[in-house]
Amino acid sequence: MRGFAPAPSSVPGVRRLKRTAGTLVSAALVLPLLGAAPAAPTAPQADQLQRAFDSAAAQYHVPRNVLLAVSYLQSRWDAHAGAPSVSGGYGPMHLTDARTALTATEHHAEGTEDARGDSARAALHPDAKAPAPAELPARLTTLRRAAELTGLPATRLRTDPAANIAGGAALLASAQRELGEPLSADPSGWYGAVAEFSAADDTATAAAYADDVYEVLRTGERRTTDAGQRVELAASPRLRADTAQLKRTGLRAPRAGDVECPRSVSCVSVPAPYEEFGDNDYGNHDLGVRPAAERVRYIVIHDTEGGWDGVMNLIQDPTYVSWNYTIRSTDGLIAQHVKAKDVAWHAGNWDVNARSVGIEHEGFLTDPDAWYTEAMYRSSARLVKYLSRAYGVPLDRQHILGHENVPGPTASTVPGMHTDPGPYWDWRHYFELLGRPFERTGTSRSSLVTILPDYAANQPVYTGCTTKGEPCPAHGSGEVRLYSDHDVNAPLIKDIGLGTVPTDGVNDLSSRVSTGQQYAVAGRWGDWTAIWYLGQKAWFRNPHREPTAVSASGATITPKAGLASVPVYGRAYPEKEAYPAGVPAQSVVPLPYTIPAGQKYVVGDRMPGEYYYAVTFTEDSHQVIAGKDLYYEIQYGHRVGFVRAADVDLSAVRR
């Protein structure tokens, strides 16, 4: 999708206008939020936030480590300068204050991308709308309750981190009293209150949230926040929680449903409909038999560009598109919509759809402070680890893709491909949660690099979050900008497939690389490193003392000797001769990209050419056509691409 920020609106019921060039209206259920972010306080003491936790814990008789652990799961102790999250959550305790909800379209409905991406069928451009809920759920109004308990004005709870922490402590203490439990100094006796704090709708979701909090308590955490505050929570490895308290919360049992999720998360079934409308017109996914007929090779990370309730309405519209899972921001609840054996319409490339599982995350691409919560990151990581084990998907950046990394299937589709989850998704932290942290795997002489900037310190300028050409708020990012020479004043790298002059626009992927992606080194100059990228030599700053990339090992391809260049493809389809009678052969046409002789690109996978023929509602004609041609998936630019194995030579770069 082409993302844009959720802007506060003072007029309920008025739809937001588009915020970036080339986009339509804001996507999905957007929550206008009360209060503008104030100017950040100047030069706060580095331990000020830690002392605020001490003070609030003492005032409301909540164990200090419980308060710290809950806040870590809510926000990782960040205050986001008073800006709200996608679900209207403010401050270190993520107290929610979503005043109202507007109807809009979800991100698959805007832009020119055909989510299905199968040129054997007419392009699918859905126009579904998300109806607003009758009333806001309790999980979106916790700040109001905190104001009642503390006597503090809502404005202060939204903007003052210390007041926000006090509000969170008051909510925990109130929940403890309502459960009939003492305000004990023993953290093991606060499990029920922590579960209640999640404001979840059912016992399974509340328990999953509380279990995460107690995991943080056992492991401990320390970090410097986005405001430069040093906060530490000592580990309590032997701590055990009184989980029996959950029965006294009064929460309902979770909805029954057949779901494919790990036991460590809360997961519900919200099925996407498979329905026929008329003359072979059906939606909103295709039935399949994966992995028996075709291997699941990718997991694609999306963001919703809107709120949970609206997205849940859209996924149940049979005329709309589909994806496999959605994850809620407030508590990490997972909803499964399409079984992993079936093919959802989500990535804009039928070949990738047929080989992938798609996961939507409640969030916004272009609003860096409409932040993704720790609860959502952790729940997502558990789901991805589960899927990785179940389907043999490697946990690396050429198999765990952002929607923005999926290539256009044909040349004409390249400009319209989506760009989520965008530069503010924290891939470094995400892969730490996956148990596969990015790290140096090669020597200083290695000819490969892994992109690995410090997320918080790395703050490249982006424009167009709210107005075309206007700078986005300064914020940490996992992406690094590329230049045509070792000079920040040199022109940016151009993507010929887009056919536009490269910019620093937040949706412009022409000249940037992302955390975890790997490239072959093309040159070095002082604090600069060059890589092969989109058929060009692309430079980025990589100072020795503050590196934005580390040395790597892996496999690369280069054109076979005697070839001036080789084509790059957007899909790995079989050769014409592989198609049986009755199945139209799909064209294998290269993208407007090549790999010139002498250039190298990192290999992510080796795979057969395959095409899943599924153009009818009934399954009798569905089949996977496999060819003899083999392909390598490579990291070509910001997106991946495919090359024929017959066109290239494979070599390994050792540690």
Spell out the domain ranges in the chain.
Answer: 48-101+136-248, 267-484+496-509, 559-653
Q: Which of 203-207, 432-436, 559-563 has the lowest mean pLDDT?
A: 203-207
Residue 356 predicted with pLDDT over 80? yes
Query: Two tokens at 568?
Result: 């790059």
Q: Single out the residue of 601, 537, 538, 539 nearest to residue 567, CA to CA.
A: 601
Give the β-pairing of 565-567 and 554-559. Answer: unpaired
Reported pTM: 0.90
Residue whose token pair is 């109806």: 131
Buried b / exposed e over 322-331, threshold 16 CB at 10 Å, is bbbbbbbbbb
Query: Two tokens at 299?
Result: 């997991």
Residue whose token pair is 């990785």: 388
Residue 231 predicted with pLDDT over 90? yes
In tens, the pLDDT along 627-650 reads 999 999 999 999 999 999 999 999
Question: According to the model, what pLDDT value does residue 44 have?
Answer: 64
In tens, the pLDDT along 485-495 reads 999 999 999 99
Correct CATH for 267-484+496-509 of 2.60.40.1180, 3.40.80.10, 2.40.37.10, 3.40.640.10: 3.40.80.10
**Bridge partners of residue 89, in order along the sequence:** 96
In the 8-state DSSP scheme, what is residue 88? S
* CATH class, range 48-101+136-248: mainly alpha
When comparing pLDDT for 29 and 71, which is higher?
Answer: 71
In tens, the pLDDT along 462-507 reads 999 989 999 998 999 999 999 999 999 999 999 999 999 999 999 9
The proportion of the chain whose per-residue pLDDT surpasses 70, expressed as a percent, equals 89
Q: Which helix (H) or strand (E) holds 431?
A: helix 427-433
Phi-psi region of 562 (alpha: psi -120 to 50; beta: other; left: phi over 0): left
User: Three-state SS for 429?
Assistant: helix
Where does the pLDDT of residue 134 fall: very low under 50, low under 70, confident under 90, or very high at 90 and above?
A: low
Question: According to the model, what pLDDT value does residue 175 have?
Answer: 97
The proportion of the chain whose per-residue pLDDT surpasses 90, expressed as a percent, equals 75
φ, ψ at 653 (rounded to 5°): -110, 115
Do residues 575 and 609 touch, judged by C-beta distance below 8 A?
yes
Residue whose token pair is 């024929």: 644
Residue whose token pair is 């082409």: 2
Where does the pLDDT of residue 6 fall: very low under 50, low under 70, confident under 90, or very high at 90 and above?
A: very low
In tens, the pLDDT along 409-424 reads 999 999 999 999 999 9
Measure Cα distances from 283 to 95, 321, 322, 586 in Å: 38, 7, 9, 22
Do residues 142 and 156 touch, judged by C-beta distance below 8 A?
no
Question: According to the model, what pLDDT value does residue 34 have?
Answer: 36
Question: According to the model, what pLDDT value does residue 348 have?
Answer: 96
Q: Single out the residue of 117, 80, 110, 106 nearest to residue 95, CA to CA.
A: 80
Where does the pLDDT of residue 187 fall: very low under 50, low under 70, confident under 90, or very high at 90 and above?
A: very high
